[in-house]
Amino acid sequence: MSDVPGAPADLLRSLTRAERLLSRRLGAVLADDALTIEGWRVLCLLADGQGHPMSEVSTEASLPPGTLTKLVDQLVDRNLVFRRIDPMDRRRIRAYLTARGRREHARLDERVRASLAELGISQAVELDVPPAADLIGALDDLIDRLDPARHAPPATRLAAATQLAAATQLAAATLPTPAQSPTRTH
C-alpha cells in the first residue's frame, strides 16, 4: 500500500483484490453447474443473440485463442454453444448460444444476480442511479480510456492490427541476425 492515499498502486491493488474476491464468489455459484468464470463470460457475451467472431470472444473473455477454442469445445459438447461460418467473411467462425444455452444463461444469471444482491450489489433501476451502476460506469469509462480500440469500428481495429504487423516486420528486418551481430572478445 502506498503512503499517499489514492495512489495508482492503491487503485491497481483494490481492483485486483475486488476482481479476485468477486471471481471466487461467482465461481462458487457457477461450480454447482460445472461452469467456470471464463465459461460464464462467454455465455454472457453470446447472450445478446447476435453471434460473435471467435477473435472477439477471445478478447472479451480475456482468453488466448487456443484456450478459448478448448473452452468453446466444452460448451459445444454440453450443447450450450454452437459455431457457424460467418456469412459475411467465410474465413471467420461465429459462436452463438443454443436454445439450451439461452435457458442455462438465464437460469445462471438469476443465481449470479441473487448472489450479488446478497452483497448489496443490485442493478435494479431505482429512482436514483444505484451505486453498482455508478461503479460499472466508472470502470467501463476507465477501460475505454485504457483501451480506446475496444469500441473502435472493425475497420479501425484492422488498420491498427495491420500497422502493428508492419511495424513488427520492419523491426524484424532491421534487427541483425546472429551472423551479423558483432562478436565480442574479452
pLDDT in tens, 4-57: 556 777 888 888 888 899 899 999 999 999 999 999 999 999 999 999 999 999
pLDDT value at residue 131: 63
Question: CB–CB of 104/33 below 8 Å?
Answer: yes
By the 10 Å C-beta count (0-12 exposed, 13-18 middle, 19+ buried), 111 is classed as: middle
Whether residue 52 contacts residue 94, with contact meaning beta carbons closer than 8 Å, is answered with yes
Hey, how many other C-beta atoms are within 10 angstroms of the C-beta on 129? 10
Q: Comparing 133 with 89, which gets the higher pLDDT?
A: 89
Q: Is 183 helix (H, G, I), strand (E, B) or coil?
A: coil
- pTM of the predicted protein model: 0.67
Confidence bin at 165 (pLDDT 50/70/90): very low
For residues 3 and 141, which has the higher predicted lDDT (pLDDT)?
141
Which three cell numbers, joined as nine digits, stand for 97?
448460444
What totals of helices (H) and strands (E) does the chain contain, helices first? 7, 3
Instruction: Record the cell numbers describing residue 42, joined without a space.
Output: 462467454
Q: Binning pLDDT at 50, 70 and 90, where does residue 132 land?
A: low
**Over the chain, what is the mean pLDDT?**
78
